[in-house]
C-alpha cells in the first residue's frame, strides 16, 4: 500500500474516533473529498459515522445515496433514495438518482412511473424530461424521446442536455434546421466539454445539408423556421469558416432590419447581433466552425488574429449564456 493511501486511512481513522469533538461540517467535507477522489470505501466509513451522529443531515444523506450508486451498491442507493423522494424536501435530483438506479438494474416500468411522478411534482424540470427521454431510447422509442427532449427545452430552456440530444436526433432525421438551432444553443450553454467538439461537427454537417436543399423554407409549415430559412437563403459555394461568417452576418443584419425579431424574439440571434456589434463575430464563427472544417487553416487564422481570439475567449468564459422562457418555436 502506498504512502498516500496510508495517510488517507490514518486521517479517516482520526476523524471517526474524534467525530463528536469536531464540527460536523469538517467531517462532511472530508467525506465529500474522499468521494470526489474516488476513495469510495473510506468515504463510506466517514459517511456512516457522520450519519450515525447526524441522522437528519439531508445533504449528507443525498451524497451518501449517490456514493452508493457510484459503488454500484444499487440496493442501498435505492433504499436511501426512496426515503428521499418521499420527504417534503425532495427535489428533482432525488428522483433523478433513483431513476438512475432503476435503469442500472433494468427496472424500466418502475423508472417510467417514477419519472412521471417526479414530473407531476416538478413540471418544469428539464433534468427529468431528459432522463425520461433516455429511458425512451433504452426502450427503443425514439418518437417519445424527442417529444420529451422538446418538452424539456420548452419548459426549462437553460438545461443543455436536451438540446444536445435533440440536435443529434434532428440531424439524423433530416431536420437540419433544428439541428443547427439546437446545436448552436448547446455550444453556447456548454462551451468547453467533451460534447462541444462533437456538436460543432454536427452543426457544420447540418449546414452542409441545409444550404444545398434549395427550398429556402418553402416546404415547412413552421413559421419561425420558414422565416429564418427565407432570410438565410441557399448556397452553392463550398463552406469555409469565412463564408459561413459572411452569410450568418448577412442573415442577422437582415433579420433585425426587417424587424423579424419583433415577431420572433430569440436569445441566440440577440447574442449573434451583439457579437457583430462588438467586433467578435469573426472569432466566434471561427471558434464554432474553424477546427471542424480545417484545423490547420484555423490555427493559421487564430495565430494571425491572436488579439481577437483572446478577446472573444475572455468574453465567452466570463459570461453566462441564459435563454428566456417563452421563446420556443418548434410547435
**56 alpha carbon, distance to own chain's centre:** 32
Q: Is residue 45 part of a domain?
A: yes
In a shared domain, residues 181 and 318: yes
Residue 216 pLDDT > 70: no
Could you give the number of structural domains in the chain? 2
> Is there a contact between 209 and 297 (Cβ–Cβ < 8 Å)?
no
| 3-class secondary-structure state, position 141 | coil
Give the span between the Cα atoms of 315 and 264, in whole angstroms. Answer: 26
Confirm whether 216 is domain-assigned. yes
* Domain membership flag for residue 178: yes
Instruction: Determine, yes or no, domain membership for 74.
Output: no
CB count within 10 Å of CB 34 equals 23
When the pLDDT of each residue in the chain is averaged and rounded to a whole number, the result is 91
Position 138 in a domain: no
Q: Are residues 179 and 321 in the same domain?
A: yes
pLDDT of 224 reads 96
What tens digit of pLDDT does each residue of 45-60 get? 999 999 998 898 999 9
76 located within any domain: no
Among 120-129, 224-233, 245-254, 267-276, name the one with the lowest average pLDDT: 224-233
Q: Give domain status of residue 182, yes or no.
A: yes
- Domain extent, residue 46, equals 1-55
Q: Are 171 and 206 in contact (CB under 8 A)?
A: yes
pLDDT at 19: 47
Q: What is the pLDDT of residues 143-164, one digit of tens each?
A: 999 999 999 999 999 999 999 9
Residue 21 in this model has a pLDDT that exceeds 70: no
312 in the same domain as 180: yes
Cα–Cα distance, 290 to 309 (Å, whole number): 12
Cell of residue 49, nine digits: 459515522
Residues 51 and 162 in one domain: no
Domain assignment present for 121: no
Last residue of a domain, one of 55, 73, 91: 55
pLDDT tens, residue by residue, 308-331:
999 999 999 998 999 999 999 998
Amino acid at each position: 500500500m502506498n504512502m498516500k493511501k496510508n495517510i488517507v486511512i490514518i486521517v479517516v481513522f482520526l476523524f471517526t474516533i474524534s467525530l463528536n469533538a469536531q464540527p460536523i461540517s469538517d467531517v462532511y467535507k472530508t467525506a465529500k473529498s474522499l468521494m470526489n477522489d474516488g476513495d469510495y470505501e473510506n468515504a463510506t466509513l466517514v459517511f456512516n459515522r457522520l450519519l450515525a451522529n447526524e441522522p437528519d443531515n439531508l445533504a449528507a444523506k443525498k451524497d451518501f445515496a449517490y456514493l452508493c450508486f457510484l459503488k454500484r451498491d444499487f440496493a442501498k442507493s435505492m433504499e436511501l433514495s426512496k426515503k428521499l423522494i418521499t420527504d417534503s424536501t425532495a427535489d428533482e435530483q432525488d428522483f433523478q438518482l433513483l431513476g438512475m438506479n432503476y435503469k442500472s438494474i433494468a427496472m424500466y416500468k418502475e423508472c417510467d412511473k417514477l419519472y412521471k411522478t417526479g414530473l407531476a411534482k416538478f413540471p418544469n424540470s428539464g433534468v427529468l424530461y431528459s432522463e425520461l427521454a433516455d429511458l425512451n431510447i433504452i426502450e427503443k422509442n425514439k418518437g417519445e424521446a424527442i417529444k420529451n427532449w422538446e418538452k424539456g427545452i420548452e419548459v426549462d430552456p437553460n438545461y443543455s442536455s436536451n438540446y444536445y440530444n435533440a440536435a443529434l436526433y434532428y440531424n439524423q432525421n433530416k431536420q437540419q434546421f433544428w439541428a443547427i438551432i439546437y446545436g448552436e444553443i448547446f455550444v453556447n450553454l456548454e462551451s468547453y466539454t467533451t460534447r462541444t467538439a462533437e456538436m460543432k461537427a454536427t452543426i457544420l454537417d447540418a449546414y452542409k445539408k441545409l444550404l444545398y436543399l434549395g427550398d429556402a423554407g418553402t416546404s415547412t409549415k413552421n413559421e419561425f423556421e420558414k422565416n429564418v430559412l427565407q432570410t438565410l437563403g441557399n448556397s452553392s459555394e463550398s463552406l469555409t469558416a469565412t463564408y459561413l461568417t459572411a452569410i450568418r452576418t448577412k442573415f442577422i443584419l437582415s433579420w433585425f432590419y426587417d424587424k423579424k425579431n419583433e415577431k420572433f424574439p430569440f436569445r441566440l440571434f440577440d447574442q449573434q447581433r451583439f457579437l457583430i456589434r462588438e467586433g467578435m463575430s469573426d472569432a466566434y464563427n471561427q471558434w464554432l466552425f474553424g477546427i471542424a472544417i480545417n484545423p490547420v487553416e484555423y490555427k493559421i487564422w487564430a495565430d494571425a488574429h491572436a488579439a481577437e481570439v483572446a478577446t472573444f475567449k475572455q468574453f465567452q468564459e466570463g459570461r453566462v449564456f441564459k435563454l428566456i422562457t417563452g421563446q420556443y418555436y418548434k410547435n
